[in-house]
Structure 1
């Protein structure tokens, strides 16, 4: 691994957006720390090079998060991508399950803050200094015109509030904190926004981010979304 390579740490790389983030950053020469629940399964699908470190991590295991942060204490992290999350389902009021709701809040809302807190010093020592949260426009109060999905909407609305507070708190350290909606991604063969295209555009948003963009809620294409 070459010295001076920028480093990205990504949570939730088992599939979907996280997996694609790892693939794209690896292809562009980043040192990639790809955390997931099943590294063996991920490595069986992709022959990653020496610049990718597949690491088992359950983001709801706070002790494991701290252990990983300790292990990487000498590694500046240019980009931290809080991607791990539970995407659905989106039931009606009467079908909302409180147990799933609590689990969704733990994964989608609490864990990203715990991860960010554990790695904030790593990000502060880097050159790029970006913390990105993969959020959703379903967390926007202004854009909610269809109701339902109480658990998911509340988890992402809360995540956006965490992002905003963290952005304010980290201004003195010149760390840029963002929320990004990945778009309505579809399977690559169906003609809509593919996972690969979504991640490519989100990487552009992250790459262009600096202190002046901190605290902003972006669409994958760089458009600013309303709260």
Structure 2
């Protein structure tokens, strides 16, 4: 990974922040950099970390990205890790609001596509040309879990479809485009969501009995290992946190 330039979205906390800590030469984004105190401190202590402002839910934010990058990514971007996303409390489809669907698709599906569009000219400068989308097994139609992830799962399924299309459209240009499942990461939000569903359906405990609960730090380590192991043959594939290929 030495000498490569990484761009990580959603780096203000959680997995994105841990990815930033574990990498050297990166551009990391946050919706509000001023409030991302840990990320700002990391940037101050490591000259290779450059923080830029980006809200993937705001199309105008992408228009301002070039002004922030043109002087710090002069040699391009080698690896894009599209990590920014939202995880709403899951509800059955009949109880999910229109606003929840719009928010999830806007951030989890449309935002990553706009990010690639905004960074394409920087990725073109590199020979590496790797794009990794942090997705979720919740978006895998082939591995459907016995409970509804509604807007979240559907937005990740849409993201996975975008991965397949990007891999087809950009593969001939030397790009490697993949979807990566970060593992079952233990966060305050995920604990709340899991508790909610266990109350609704005890079968969920059985469905998750073989899933290892990861800290954001461990999840980031596994994601970076998977990114580091990418090859041209990886293009268009979906990998879990252990590096195993999974079906869409």
Distance 2:79 2:144 in 1: 30
| Runs of 5+ unmatched residues, structure 2 | 192-211
Report the aligned-residue RMSD.
2.1
Query: Does the 8 Å contact 1:124/1:175 carry over to 2?
Result: no
What is the correspondence of 1:60-79 to structure 2 with a 5 Å cutoff? Answer: 60-69=57-66, 71-73=68-70, 74-79=74-79
State the partner residue of 1:142: 142
Equivalent of 1:196, from 204, 217, 220?
217
1:55 aligns with 2:49: no
Structure 1 stretches (4+) deviating beyond 6 angstroms? none
Q: Report the CA distance between 1:168 and its aligned residue.
A: 0.7
Distance 1:44 1:86 in 2: 20
Distance 1:185 1:43 in 2: 22
1:100 aligns with 2:100: yes
Compare CA radii of gyration and give the structure with the larger one: 2
Q: Report the CA distance between 1:129 and its aligned residue.
A: 1.3
State the partner residue of 1:36: 30
TM-score of the superposition, structure 1-length normalised? 0.89
Equivalent of 2:13, from 12, 15, 22?
15
What is the correspondence of 1:114-125 to structure 2 with a 5 Å cutoff? Answer: 114-125=114-125
TM-score of the superposition, structure 2-length normalised? 0.82
| Runs of 5+ unmatched residues, structure 1 | none
Distance 2:175 2:37 in 1: 32
Q: Report the CA distance between 1:123 and its aligned residue.
A: 1.3
SS at match of 1:35: strand
Distance 2:80 2:61 in 1: 17
SS at match of 1:53: strand
Q: For structure 1, which segment, 47-56 or 172-181, has the greater mean C-alpha deviation from structure 2 after superposition? A: 47-56
1:80 aligns with 2:76: no
